[in-house]
C-alpha cells in the first residue's frame, strides 16, 4: 500500500541513536493495563527481553519505587541467555508500587570484550586502551564528584606509558569500575519502558486467610430463639478454637416484609418467618443500619473489637440490592428499573424469581449519585471497623463501577480487602480480579476428579493468572451443597476440607453446617439445602459428638505452622498409578518446609497405589532416605526414592498431610531428620 504524503515527508525519530529494544516484560497483566498483586514482604521477580542490532553489549536495570515517591531504585538485571534478563525486588509497604525496565547499549562493556579478544590473539591494543580511556572520561562527565574522580584515575591508568601493556589490560578488567560505570549510562542510548507497570501490595491476609461463615440470627443458645450480635460474640471463642482468622457474616441489615420468602424460598411468608438477609431494607433502615433483632451499632463495634482480641477479623457481606421496603426505593426511584406495567423489576434467574429483591439499575441516567451512595455504604462500615468485605454477585454490576469503587477505597484505606463471590464465566471472574478484587471464589466445589483438580489448580498457579487472581476455596456455602457432599458421608466432608485447606492458601467453610455434616438437599438434583438457613432460623448443637470440629482445628493448626501452605506458589502435582488418589506438594522458596498431601477421592472405598514423586520439588535427592510425618495422625513413614506405596481407607482416614523431613549427616556421623 502506498505511503501517504505526510508519512513520506516525516523526518527521523527524535532518538535515532537509541538502538536497544525492550520486549516481553513479565510479570505483566494485559500489557500493563492492570497491576499485578503481591503482599508485603513478597518478592517480585521481573524478566524482560533486551537486545540490540549488531554485536554491542547491552546492560539492563530494573527500576522500582513506591507510589507517592519520586526516586527510582535500580537493580542490575542478570542475563539468562538468549537476550533474556532477570532481577527482583521486595515489596514492603501496603499500597502500590511501580516497576519498569531500562536498557542501553553499553559501549564500555563492548570495548572490554573486544580488547580481551585482541589481546588474547596477540594483536596490538595500544589504540584500544586509549579508546577505553576516552569512554571512561565520557562516563566521568555524567558521574558525581567522587565517582568521576575514580573514573578519571582509571582512564589515566589505561594510558600510563610506564606501565606494562599486560598490566594495563588487567586494569581494564577491574569489576569495581564497571559496577561504578553502570550507574551512569549514556542518556542518548538509554531506553526506559513506559509507562511503568503497577503492583498492588496488600497485607498478608490477602494471600493467607481462613474463613468461617455464620448467620448471627442462628447463634442463640436457646433453640428457636432469634440470635443477636451478642450471641455471635459468645460464639467467637468456638470459632477461634477451630483456628479461623476471618468470621464472615451474611447481611446484618433490616429485612423487608413485602414479598418476604418463607422456608426453602417459598412465596408467602408466615408472620414468624425472618426472611432472607439478602432482601435488605425496611422502615428500620437500609445498608447503613443493623436489623434491630440483632442489636445495635454499638453491639457490632463490640463484636469487631472482641474478634480482634481473639486474632480474628469480621468480614461483612456487601450486597448491593434492596427489598421493596428499602428507603432507597422510596427516596430514589430513579435507581431502579421500571417494567412496562409500572412495577419495579425484581431479581430473576429464570426460572427462579426473587420478588423480595430489587436490583439496582446501573444504566440509570442518575448513575453518578448511585455510585456515590454505594461508595458511602462501604466507607460507613469501614468507619465501624470493617476491613474485609465479601461482595455478593459482583459480576451483576458494571466492571467500571468496581474498578472505581475499589480504587477510591484503597487510596484512603489500602489495607481493606474484597472477596468476590462470583460463580460465573472464567473471563468475567478474572476481569473482576484484575480491576481490584483481592480474592475470588472459584469452581473448586465442582472439581472432584484427579484430572479436573490437577488441570484447574495448575491453571490457577501459573502466570499470568497467579499474578492477579487469588483463589478462595469453599467446599460449601449457604447456596451450594454439592452432590459429592450429599452422598459421600463423613469421608466426603473430610476429603473436601483437606483439599481446600492444602490446595489453597485461603479457604472457608459455611458452618456450623459443614462441621455438623449437613447434607440433605431440598429435593433430588438440587444444590439447595433442605431447611436452608437463608430463609429460616436454625439451631445448631455445636457440641455434637460427630462434629468435625477437632479435625478442622487440626487442619488449621497445620496451616498456621506450615509456611508452604500459606502461599499459592510452589504447588507441584505428583504421579500415582491410581486415578482415585491425588498427590501434590507445596514447598516454600528455600524448601525448608515441604508438605506432601495425598487424598483418596473415593469417599466409599479403600484405594491404594504407587506414588511417583517429583523429588526435586520436595528438596530430596534421588537415592536419599526421607521421613514422611503425617500431621493428621502422627504416623511416620520412612521412604526412599520416588516410588512409594500408599493405602487410604476413607472410613479411617481418607488423606495424608505429610511433612517431608530429609535425612542429613552430622559431624558425628549420626543420621537424623530435619
Residue 358 — φ and ψ, nearest 5°?
-105, 120
Give me the DSSP letters along 601-655.
--SSS-EEEEEE--HHHHT--TT-EEEEEETTT--EEEEESSEEEEEE-TTT-SE
- C-alpha to C-alpha distance for 67 and 331, rounded to whole angstroms: 40
- C-alpha to C-alpha distance for 263 and 338, rounded to whole angstroms: 29
- The residues annotated with a catalytic role in the active site are 392, 421
Instruction: Copy the grid coordinates of residue 181.
Output: 560505570
- C-alpha to C-alpha distance for 404 and 200, rounded to whole angstroms: 15
Alpha helices for 273-357 (secondary structure H) = 297-309, 327-331
Q: What angle do CA 153, 156, 161 make, to 5 degrees?
A: 145
Which residues on adjacent β-strands are paired with residue 163?
none
- C-alpha to C-alpha distance for 493 and 546, rounded to whole angstroms: 12
Q: How many CA atoms lie within 13 A of 648 on its CB side?
A: 29
Give me the DSSP letters along 350-407.
TTEEETT-EE--TTSTTHHHHHHHHHHHHHHHHHTT--EEEEE-GGGS-HHHHHHHHH
Q: Are 375 and 413 in contact (CB under 8 A)?
A: no
Strand intervals (E) in 504-593: 506-510, 571-576, 581-587
- Please name which of 336, 615, 584, 632 lies closest in space to residue 458, comparing C-alpha atoms: 584
* Helix axes 297-309 and 229-242, enclosed angle (nearest 10): 20
Which residues on adjacent β-strands are paired with residue 402?
none
Instruction: Copy the grid coordinates of residue 492.
Output: 466426603
- Please name which of 261, 371, 357, 252 lies closest in space to residue 303, comparing C-alpha atoms: 252
Q: Which residues of 284-321 are buried (b: 16+ CB within 10 A; e: fewer)?
A: bbbbebbbeebbeeebbebbbebbeeeebbbbbbbbbb
- C-alpha to C-alpha distance for 493 and 479, rounded to whole angstroms: 16
Torsion angle in degrees (nearest 10) through CA of 248, 249, 250, 254 = -160
Amino acid at each position: 500500500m502506498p505511503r501517504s504524503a505526510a508519512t513520506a515527508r516525516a523526518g527521523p525519530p527524535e532518538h535515532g541513536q537509541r538502538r536497544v529494544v525492550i520486549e516481553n516484560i513479565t510479570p505483566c497483566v494485559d500489557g500493563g493495563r492492570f497491576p499485578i498483586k503481591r503482599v508485603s514482604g513478597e518478592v517480585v521477580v521481573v524478566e524482560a527481553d533486551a537486545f540490540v542490532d549488531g554485536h554491542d553489549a547491552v546492560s539492563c536495570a530494573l527500576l522500582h519505587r513506591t507510589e507517592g515517591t519520586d526516586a527510582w531504585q535500580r537493580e542490575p538485571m542478570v542475563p539468562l541467555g538468549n537476550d533474556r534478563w532477570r532481577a527482583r525486588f521486595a515489596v514492603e509497604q501496603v499500597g502500590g508500587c511501580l516497576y519498569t525496565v531500562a536498557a542501553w547499549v553499553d559501549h564500555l562493556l563492548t570495548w572490554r570484550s573486544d580488547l580481551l579478544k585482541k589481546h588474547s590473539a596477540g594483536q596490538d591494543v595500544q589504540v584500544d586502551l586509549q579508546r577505553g580511556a576516552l569512554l571512561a572520561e565520557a562516563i566521568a562527565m555524567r558521574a558525581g564528584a567522587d565517582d568521576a574522580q575514580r573514573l578519571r584515575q582509571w582512564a589515566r591508568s589505561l594510558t600510563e606509558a610506564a606501565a606494562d601493556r599486560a598490566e594495563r589490560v588487567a586494569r581494564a578488567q577491574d569489576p569495581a569500575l564497571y559496577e561504578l560505570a553502570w550507574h551512569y549510562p549514556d542518556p542518548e542510548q538509554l531506553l526506559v519502558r513506559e509507562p511503568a507497570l503497577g503492583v498492588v501490595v496488600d497485607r498478608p491476609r490477602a494471600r493467607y486467610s481462613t474463613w468461617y461463615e455464620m448467620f448471627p440470627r442462628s447463634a442463640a443458645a436457646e433453640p428457636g430463639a432469634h440470635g443477636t450480635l451478642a450471641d455471635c460474640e459468645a460464639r467467637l471463642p468456638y470459632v477461634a478454637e477451630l483456628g479461623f482468622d476471618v468470621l464472615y457474616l451474611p447481611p446484618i441489615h433490616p429485612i423487608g416484609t413485602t414479598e418476604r420468602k418463607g422456608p426453602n424460598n417459598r412465596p408467602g411468608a408466615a408472620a414468624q418467618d425472618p426472611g432472607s438477609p439478602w432482601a435488605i431494607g425496611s422502615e428500620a433502615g437500609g445498608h447503613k443500619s443493623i436489623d434491630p433483632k440483632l442489636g445495635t451499632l454499638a453491639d457490632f463495634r463490640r463484636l469487631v473489637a472482641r474478634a480482634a482480641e481473639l486474632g480474628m477479623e469480621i468480614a461483612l457481606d456487601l450486597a448491593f440490592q434492596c427489598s421493596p421496603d428499602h428507603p432507597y426505593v422510596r427516596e430514589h426511584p430513579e435507581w431502579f428499573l421500571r417494567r412496562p406495567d409500572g412495577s419495579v423489576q425484581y431479581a430473576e434467574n429464570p426460572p427462579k424469581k426473587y420478588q423480595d429483591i430489587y436490583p439496582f439499575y446501573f444504566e440509570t441516567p442518575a448513575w453518578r449519585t448511585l455510585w456515590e451512595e454505594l461508595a458511602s455504604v462501604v466507607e460507613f462500615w469501614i468507619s465501624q471497623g470493617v476491613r474485609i468485605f465479601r461482595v455478593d454477585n459482583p459480576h451483576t454490576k458494571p466492571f467500571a463501577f468496581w474498578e472505581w469503587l475499589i480504587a477510591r477505597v484503597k487510596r484512603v484505606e489500602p489495607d481493606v480487602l474484597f472477596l468476590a463471590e462470583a460463580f460465573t464465566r472464567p473471563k468475567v471472574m478474572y476481569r473482576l480480579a484484575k480491576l481490584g478484587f483481592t480474592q475470588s471464589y472459584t469452581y473448586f466445589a465442582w472439581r472432584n476428579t484427579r484430572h479436573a483438580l490437577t488441570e484447574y489448580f495448575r491453571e490457577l498457579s501459573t502466570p499470568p493468572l497467579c499474578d492477579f487472581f487469588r483463589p478462595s476455596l469453599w467446599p460449601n456455602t449457604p447456596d451450594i451443597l454439592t452432590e459429592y457432599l450429599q452422598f459421600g458421608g463423613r469421608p466426603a466432608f473430610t476429603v473436601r476440607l483437606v483439599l481446600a485447606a492444602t490446595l489453597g492458601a485461603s479457604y472457608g467453610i459455611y458452618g456450623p453446617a459443614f462441621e455438623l455434616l449437613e447434607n440433605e438437599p431440598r429435593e433430588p438434583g438440587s444444590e439447595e439445602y433442605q431447611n436452608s438457613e437463608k430463609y429460616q432460623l436454625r439451631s445448631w448443637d455445636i457440641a455434637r459428638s460427630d462434629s468435625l470440629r477437632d479435625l478442622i482445628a487440626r487442619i488449621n493448626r497445620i496451616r498456621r505452622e506450615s509456611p508452604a501452605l500459606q502461599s499459592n506458589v510452589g504447588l507441584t502435582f505428583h504421579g500415582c498409578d491410581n486415578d482415585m488418589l491425588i498427590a501434590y506438594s507445596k514447598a516454600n522458596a528455600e524448601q525448608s518446609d515441604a508438605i506432601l498431601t495425598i487424598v483418596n477421592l473415593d469417599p466409599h472405598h479403600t484405594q491404594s497405589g504407587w506414588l511417583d514423586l517429583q523429588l526435586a520439588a520436595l528438596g530430596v535427592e534421588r537415592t536419599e532416605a526421607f521421613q514422611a510425618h503425617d500431621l493428621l495422625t502422627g504416623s511416620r513413614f520412612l521412604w526412599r526414592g520416588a516410588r512409594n506405596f500408599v493405602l487410604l481407607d476413607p472410613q479411617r482416614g481418607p488423606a495424608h498431610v505429610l511433612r517431608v523431613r530429609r535425612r542429613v549427616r552430622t559431624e558425628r556421623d549420626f543420621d537424623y531428620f530435619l
